[in-house]
Structure 1
Amino acid sequence: MIIRKSPEEIEKMAAAGAIHARTMKLVAGKIREGVSTAELDAAAEKYIRSQGAEPSFKGYRGFTGSICASPNSMVVHGIPGPYRLKRGDIISVDIGVTYDGWVADGAVTFPVGPITPVAQKLLEVTEASLFAAVEQCRVGNRLGDVSHAVQTLVEGEGLSVVRSLVGHGVGRAMHEDPQIPNYGEPGRGPLLEAGMVFAVEPMVNAGRHMVRMGDDGWSIYSQDGSLAAHFEFTIAVTEEGPRILTPWHEELAADPTPA
């Protein structure tokens, strides 16, 4: 069952999302060659807690990090640790914030210094597919319209949508119905209604779409070792149109280049 949120509840989620966006900007400013993913994690957790919120991922089903930090061919769910960023890396940073009982979820894949043309295209296309999905989060559309928007853009650029991982509903729980694939047929699936809130998260490989589980039981990699990117917003469907509740793009636009 898809849990619809009232306008007041959406405002509470937006408050969590504002903390999320500021945290993402903080992390972006620390991404540079030589920084460990554990250091990024510590900075994010410290800031989230300073805002009276909690990192949603910490302790979730035993996950030990406050963020997911997934470099290069790792698609998602990277456990922060000793890995130090290298020039030319890309790294997905996925952050969940719980504030006043409401969850906001979002992700950005960042370059570490200059990156290859393949990596640059991967980041640009994956981010663009997320914004294409946002435009479909409108009253009267179908969930398949959201999924199809991602698939069409990504595959049109010769990249591959990861098919075994999905977005999801979000609210008081981090994972609610429905599941949101990044591929599908338009005009199919649940009818979108005001008050629905989704974590839409295109996950894209530069190579083929298949993935494999890492030895730690969390991290997921592209099976062929190709680069992977991940972008995510929490989006509310409202009568006025889509509302992005984790506006990291606005925070990063104010200072888009990591220090």
Structure 2
Amino acid sequence: MVEIKTPEQIVKMRQAGLVVAEALKAASEAAVPGVTTGELDAIAKKVIESHGATSNFLGYHGFTGVICASVNDEVVHGIPGERVLQDGDLLSIDCGAIIDGWHGDAAVTVFVGGGHAPELHQLSAVTEGSMWAGIAQVRKGNRLSDISRAIEGYVRRQPLPPKGKYGIIEDYGGHGIGSAMHMDPHLLNYVDRRRGRGMKLVPGFCVAIEPMLSLGTPKTHVLEDEWTVVTNDHTWASHWEHSVALTEDGPLVLTAFDGGRAKLAELGVTAAPDPLG
């Protein structure tokens, strides 16, 4: 069963989404050489608590942080701790928050320091671009697979990087979100025709769209900590995510400060009005 939200519930999710946006902004700005991932976790925790929200990551199946901090060849679910960030690292920060039982979830890729190779900048840009291509398909009458097709199609249309290729991570994808962080439906970042077109999108549908790309293989494995996901060939990876609601007036990006207005306008899509003004 897919949970369809009322406008009032979407307002709560927008509130949670803005807390996530604030936490990611603070953690991203603090991600400089010499800082530990645990210190970034503490910064995000302080932001979440200051807004009267709670973390949906902390304690989730025993997870010990309020953020996932995944560095270089780590794709997702990196545990924050004593690791010191180095100049040239590529860091993905994933974060979530709950307001009155309603969830927000988003992720960004951050360049630590400078001197990053061009293919890393392209990797992050293509990952983020594919996310927005998927978000633009969150419209009445479309189906779930239209989002997947847009994500994969965007990636496949991009020029290959100077070194490597773009691997669309296969074992992880987007998900429904609302009264829980992870809900039906599961959203692939590529088209699997065996699954059919998927559900029809209707107002009240909410989804976390989160493409993950590597500069090599789409295959991954989990480290001995039972959380951290790394690429099998140890090529570096990028992860971007937003939570999105479909309203009667179009898509509302719950975890973007402007509700997705600017990025969607670039794609010829009008974002729904922000219910919080």
Partner of 1:162: 169
Partner of 1:133: 134
Shift, 1:99, TM fit: 1.1
Confirm or deny that 1:63 pairs with 2:70. Answer: no
**Distance between the aligned counterparts of 2:168 and 2:246, measured in 1?**
24
Shift, 1:109, TM fit: 0.6
Q: Residue 204 of structure 1 aligns to a residue in which SS?
A: strand
Task: Return 215-224 or 146-155, whichever deviates more.
Answer: 146-155
Task: Return 30-39 or 111-120, whichever deviates more.
Answer: 111-120
Confirm or deny that 1:203 pairs with 2:212. Answer: yes
Partner of 1:46: 46
- Give the counterpart of 1:236 among 233, 237, 245: 245
Q: Residue 109 of structure 2 aligns to a residue in which SS?
A: strand
Aligned 8 A contact 2:204 2:246 in 1:
yes
**Distance between the aligned counterparts of 1:197 and 1:236, measured in 2?**
4
Shift, 1:249, TM fit: 7.5
Residues 167, 109 of structure 1: alpha-carbon distance in 2 compared, 3 angstrom cutoff = same
Aligned 8 A contact 1:155 1:161 in 2:
no
**Distance between the aligned counterparts of 2:8 and 2:258, measured in 1?**
24
**Distance between the aligned counterparts of 2:167 and 2:142, measured in 1?**
24
Aligned length, in residue pairs: 252
What do you get for the CA RMSD once the two structures are aligned?
1.6
Task: Return 151-160 or 90-99, whichever deviates more.
Answer: 151-160
Shift, 1:85, TM fit: 0.9
**Distance between the aligned counterparts of 2:50 and 2:3, measured in 1?**
30
Aligned 8 A contact 1:169 1:178 in 2:
yes
Q: Which amino acid aligns with 1:17?
A: G
Task: Return 157-166 or 121-130, whichever deviates more.
Answer: 157-166
Aligned 8 A contact 1:148 1:185 in 2:
no
**Distance between the aligned counterparts of 1:249 and 1:67, measured in 2?**
22
Q: 1:210-221 counterparts in 2 under 5 A?
A: 210-221=219-230
**Distance between the aligned counterparts of 2:106 and 2:69, measured in 1?**
12
**Distance between the aligned counterparts of 2:238 and 2:24, measured in 1?**
16
Q: Residue 55 of structure 1 aligns to a residue in which SS?
A: coil
Partner of 2:78: 78
Residue ranges of structure 1 left out of the alignment (5+ in a row) = 254-259
**Distance between the aligned counterparts of 2:149 and 2:35, measured in 1?**
37
Q: Residue 226 of structure 1 aligns to a residue in which SS?
A: coil
**Distance between the aligned counterparts of 1:249 and 1:213, measured in 2?**
35
Post-superposition, which runs of at least 4 consecutive aligned residues in structure 1 deviate over 3 A? 248-251
Residue ranges of structure 2 left out of the alignment (5+ in a row) = 161-165, 263-277
Residues 249, 213 of structure 1: alpha-carbon distance in 2 compared, 3 angstrom cutoff = farther
Aligned 8 A contact 2:143 2:201 in 1:
yes
Shift, 1:156, TM fit: 2.7
Could you give the per-residue CA deviations for residues 7-62 of structure 1, whole angstroms, max 9, x where no partner exists? 11001100111111111111121010110000000111111011111111000000
**Distance between the aligned counterparts of 2:60 and 2:192, measured in 1?**
32
Q: Which amino acid aligns with 1:179?
A: H
